[in-house]
Amino acid sequence: MQFTSLQQDNEIYNLLQAETSRQREGIELIPSENYTSGAVMEAMGSILTNKYSEGYPGKRYYGGQVNIDAIENIAIERAKKLFGAEHVNVQPYSGSPANTAVYFALLNYGDTIMGLKLDHGGHITHGLPISFSGKSYKVIPYTCKPDGWLDMDEVERLAREHKPKLIVAGFTAYPRAIDWPRFRAIADSVNAIAFADISHTAGLIAGKQLENPTPYFDVVMTTTHKTMRGPRGAIIMCKEKYAKTIDRAVFPGLQGGPHDSIIAGKAVCFAEALLPDFQDYAKQIILNAKALADALKNHGFKLVTDGTDTHLILIDLTTKNITGKEAQTALDAVGITANKNTIPHEPRSPMDPSGLRLGTPAATTRGMKEADMQKIAGWINDALANKNDASKLQTIKGEVKNFCLQFPLPGVK
């Protein structure tokens, strides 16, 4: 027997309802999370999930691909237009597999790469010793200066010293805009492949609020959720000279059949990002982040680099007598979702670090503006100051809930 409705699976249905309530009644401040549109959700939950499509448009291993090929080609062309890319592969399942595919395509095991150290704002796929990237390649990590700003002089010095085959410019907890031309120049000076991971800022780039690295870099990878507001997935963009190598690495190198329903969702989110009002959205994300940063500073919070150019804020809690884990727990208790995070030159364990990472994409999608960021900063301050007072936390939670109910969840009936 097959269920005809999700309600027939009572356990899962009830948990989905509970999650809907949690999202509706709370403020989402994790910078890598966002809300998709109803149209993207419709594509992801569509009949396309029934189809198997190993290969690429016009070169499939199974029949019945006429509609699948058309959808994938549309996604590719929209992504090319959005980012000005020469070649796009829309099949990667997510960001980490996409980064792995880039390495698999362009490197030999044991080659030297450079990436930002994880506790300075990099990603596990940029050379963390216990990850695939760290185990497969010789990794030369670069870092941030004591003030939290990226040390580009160190990047240049290390590149000249170690002659890496590939340099990764990609960040998950760095709040400032990136000097893409300088990264490109450093890579050129040592004949390295320049690889940008823009998973966090792709929507801000597509919305023309931050500089686009695609013209400068050999390869650019981005996820399609986060600031893009699409499905959980990724794409790889590259110069035409790398196209065949990248495609072969994705399939059959590392993946089998692509997720056709997710590719359709990617196509829809690219169409949304090509609309004029997406630029307004991207601009508002940054305005909100700056407003939230200023309000937090007014409450005495110390921010890494003292602010932000993007959607992301990193709080240094060492002056607040609270750890990142304690802060995350206190905020969860009042309906504000954030994540603990390391800070540059982290003195504590990554499981209970000194930082808290915040972002404004999801709140902006719900329609919140600068004045709302002032309120949110106040609740953050009060929650952390009263982390051991259950009664006070419950009062704040009620205020947060009443506030959030004024802002409908996109894509949810």
Q: Does the annotation place 30 within a ligand binding site?
A: no
Helix (H), strand (E) counts: the chain? 15, 15
Query: Could you list the active site residues?
Result: 52, 54, 197, 223, 226, 232
Q: Does the annotation place 393 within a ligand binding site?
A: no
| Dist CA 395 CA 42 (whole Å) | 37
| Dist CA 409 CA 33 (whole Å) | 13
Q: Does the annotation place 156 within a ligand binding site?
A: no
Find out whether 218 and 238 touch, Cβ atoms under 8 Å. yes
DSSP structure string for 194-224 = EEEE-TTTHHHHHTTSS---TTT-SEEEEES
Closest CA to 363 of 16, 65, 30, 14: 30
DSSP structure string for 101-161 = HHHHHH--TT-EEEEE-GGGT--GGGT-TTSHHHHHSEEEEE-B-TTS-B-HHHHHHHHHH
Q: Does the annotation place 6 within a ligand binding site?
A: no
Q: HSE-up of 27 (CA within 13 Å, CB side)?
A: 31
Q: Does the annotation place 87 within a ligand binding site?
A: no
Residues of the binding site: 118, 122-124, 240
Residues of the binding site for (6S)-5,6,7,8-tetrahydrofolate: 118, 122-124, 240
